Amino acid sequence: MVRREMNAQQFKAYLLVAVLAGMTGCADSQEGLTHDLSLDASTPGFQQEGPQDGLHAISSRQELVRGNNVEPSSLDPHMARIDNERNILADLFEGLVTLDQDGNILPGVAQSWESEGSRVFIFQLRQDARWSNGDPVVAEDFVYGWRRAVTPGTASRCPEVISESAIENSAAISKGEQPVESLGVRAITSHTLEVRLERPVSYLVSMLQQVCFLPLHSETLATHGERWTRADNLVGNGAFYLSEWRVNERVVLEKNRNYWGAESVRLNKVTFLPIAADMQFSRYMADDLDMTFGIPVDQRDRVKSSHPAEINVVKTYGSFGITINIAKPPLDNPDVRLALAYALDRGTIASKVYKGGSPAFTNVPPEMPSMSSALVDLGGLSQSDREARARDFLALAGFSREKPLELKLNYLKTPNNKKLALAVSAMWKKVLGADITLEALEWKSIVERVQNGDLELGIRGFGAAYPDPASILNYRLSGNSPGYGYASDRFDSIMLEATRTSDPVQRAELYAQAEIVLGEDMPYIPVTRLRSSMLVKPRVRGMQKEMAYPPLSKDLWVAVE
C-alpha cells in the first residue's frame, strides 16, 4: 500500500531522453495560457511601507484585473473546453488535489490518500471544506459530480476524460452500456471517498486536478437547472465565488470566506476581462490591467526592450498546430495530411510569426517528464528535403498544381491566430499550389462546427492537463476526437500498455512508439511549442518567473508600489 499525506508528488525524477532534432530554443506561443511574475525588493518603486509579508509591503487594495481573451462559453466545469474558462473555474472550484507552479501534486479537498496497487484509491477529505453557501463538502459531492461528468450526451470531453482514468465502468457508462450508478466511485463515509479502477493507472492522482473531476453542489443544480452558473445561483467550493458575470464585459470573483484556506487567501477580488490581445496590451500600458493573457506578436520586440522585467513565461507542455478532420475527403487520405505537414516551414513560423520560438515535430515536447522523443523523418530533414517530400506525397494522393487541393482553414478570431493562418496558407500555396480559404470564427462557432464534424482544418493548441505525456497523447485515442474522426487500433494498443506500465523508462519508450504512429498517420500537425508570454505588473506577487503551470489566484497578492 502506498500512502500520500500532505506532501507534493514529484514528477522530476523521470529519465528524460531528448533526441528530437530542431527542438532547442524557446517559443513564444500565441493565445497562450496564464503566466505570472515574481520580483523582489530591489524592484524600482518598491516601498517598504504598510503591512509586511516578508520583504514585501502588502497593499490594502487586494484586487486583480486579468485579461482573458474571449468570453467564456460556459462556467459549467463539464462544458469547459479552453484555458480561458478553466482559469476562472480554478478559482471557483477545488478538486481532490491541485497543482503547484512546477507541476507537483498538492492536497486540495483531500488532505490525504492511499492506494493499493494503483487499482483502488482511498481519499480522506478535509473536515473543514465548505461550499460558498456554507454547506460542508462531502464525498457524495464528488460522486454526484463525477457521475454527471461521465453521463453520455453532455456535449463535452468529460466522458472521455473520465474513461481515460480507467475508473470502473466509466467507458461502458459513456457509451450507454451501463447505468451511471455503476461508476467505480463511492462515499464510504461523509469524508472518505473510494475510487476503483479497471486497471492500474500509476498517474491517476495527477489526473484528478482536471475540471471534469470537480465536485458539484447537487442541490444548486436541482434547484436552478441550466441557470445554475448564473452569478446569483452558482455555489462553488473554491477560494472565490462568482459575484458578477456581464457577458462580453467582465467576470468578477470575490473572496469566498467559507473556503477552508480563506485565512491564507489575500486577494479580495479578481476580475477577468474577455478582451482581445491588442486591447489587453493597450489597457495594460495604461495601467488598467494587472495581467495580460498573452502578448500580441507585433508588440513582442517592443516589450522585450521596454518592459523585460514584466514578461513572465509558462513553459506549457504541448504544441500548437493544425487539427485535421480526417473524415472529410480528401483529408481522409494520409498522403494529403503528410503533404500538408511536410510543406510547413516551422522554423520561419517560430522566428517570424511568433518572434522567436521552437518548431514542434511531435505532439509531446521531449523535455516533458517520462517522455523519450522519437527522432522522426519530419524533424530530421532539411526544410528543402521536407518540401520535396511534401510534393511527393501530394502526387501520391493524386493532386498537383494543375489539380490543386482546395481546403478551408478555420481559426479563433484573434490577431495571433490570424497571422499563423496567413503564414500556413501561404506556405501550402507556395509548396503545394493548394487553394486555402481562411475563415475566422468566434469560439462558440468553432465548438459547434467541431461537434457537427463540419471543420476541415483548424488552428488549435493541445497542452498537458497533468504532468504525463498521456495527457496530450490521449487526445488521439479512438473516440476521443469527435469531429475529427481519428481512430487507430495500433495507437490505442500502445497507449493502453503505457497506462499499465509503472516503470517510467518503459513508459517513455511506449510513448515514443505512440508518437511514431502519429507521425505516420498525421491526424494533427504540430507546428510550434506551447510556451506563452504575458505581461504582469511588478505589484503582482506570488509567482515564479518561469513555471510549468500557472498559479491559482489564491496564491497571488498585490504589493505596495
Average pLDDT of the residues in 478-504: 84
The per-residue pLDDT for range 408-433, each reduced to its tens digit, is: 999 988 888 999 999 999 999 999 99
Average pLDDT of the residues in 64-84: 89
Distances (CA, A) of 48 to 42, 188, 552: 11, 51, 26
Q: Are 493 and 454 in contact (CB under 8 A)?
A: no
CA dist., res. 84 & res. 32, Å (int): 9
Most confident of 72-76, 266-270, 480-484, 499-503: 266-270
Q: What is the pLDDT of residue 170?
A: 95
Average pLDDT of the residues in 113-118: 88
Q: At what angle do helices 489-500 and 504-521 cross, to 10 degrees?
A: 170
Distances (CA, A) of 446 to 102, 157, 440, 457, 474: 32, 15, 9, 11, 21
Q: Could you tell me the three cell numbers for 208?
A: 484528478
Q: What is the pLDDT of residue 5?
A: 37
| Element at 120 (helix H, strand E) | strand 120-125
SS3 (DSSP) at 417: helix
- Would the pLDDT of 341 be above 90? yes
SS3 (DSSP) at 373: strand
Average pLDDT of the residues in 452-462: 89
Q: Could you tell me the three cell numbers for 213?
A: 473531476
CA dist., res. 534 & res. 34, Å (int): 7
Full set of structural domains in the chain with CATH: 70-240 (3.90.76.10), 318-532 (3.10.105.10)
Q: List the Cα angle 98/99/104 in 5-degree steps.
A: 125
Residue 228: what residue type? W
Q: What is the pLDDT of residue 21?
A: 26
Average pLDDT of the residues in 99-128: 93
**Out of 24-33, 285-294, 362-371, least confident range:** 24-33
Beta strands 63-67; 269-273: pairing state: parallel
Percent of the chain with pLDDT over 70: 88
Q: Could you tell me the three cell numbers for 117?
A: 496497487
Q: Are 59 and 50 in contact (CB under 8 A)?
A: yes
Q: What is the DSSP string of 336-368?
A: HHHHHHHH--HHHIIIIISSS--B--SSS-TTS
Q: Could you tell me the three cell numbers for 404?
A: 490543386
Q: What is the pLDDT of residue 270?
A: 98
Average pLDDT of the residues in 254-272: 97
Helices marked H in 181-308: 204-207, 218-224, 277-285, 300-306
Average pLDDT of the residues in 2-31: 31
Q: At what angle do helices 334-343 and 415-432 cross, to 10 degrees?
A: 110
- pLDDT grade, residue 482 (50/70/90)? low
CA dist., res. 375 & res. 512, Å (int): 9
- Would the pLDDT of 376 be above 60? no
Q: Could you tell me the three cell numbers for 40?
A: 523582489
Q: What is the 3-class SS of 457-520, one letter each residue? A: EEEEEEECCCCCCHHHHHHHCCCCCCCCCCCCHHHHHHHHHHHHCCCHHHHHHHHHHHHHHHHH
Average pLDDT of the residues in 241-255: 97
**Out of 49-53, 112-116, 448-452, 553-557, least confident range:** 49-53
- pLDDT grade, residue 161 (50/70/90)? confident
Q: Are 522 and 383 in contact (CB under 8 A)?
A: no
Sign of the C-alpha dihedral computed for residues 356, 361, 364 and 370 taken in this order = negative
- pLDDT grade, residue 56 (50/70/90)? low
Average pLDDT of the residues in 222-228: 96
Residue 172 DSSP one-character state: H
Q: At what angle do helices 415-432 and 277-285 cross, to 10 degrees?
A: 140
Q: Are 245 and 231 in contact (CB under 8 A)?
A: yes
Q: List beta partners, residue 411.
A: 440
Q: What is the pLDDT of residue 33?
A: 28
Beta strands 557-558; 318-324: pairing state: unpaired
| Element at 313 (helix H, strand E) | strand 311-314
In terms of Cα–Cα distance, which of 207, 146, 154, 156 is closest to 181?
Answer: 146
Mean pLDDT, the chain, integer: 85
pTM: 0.74
Q: Could you tell me the three cell numbers for 271?
A: 476580475
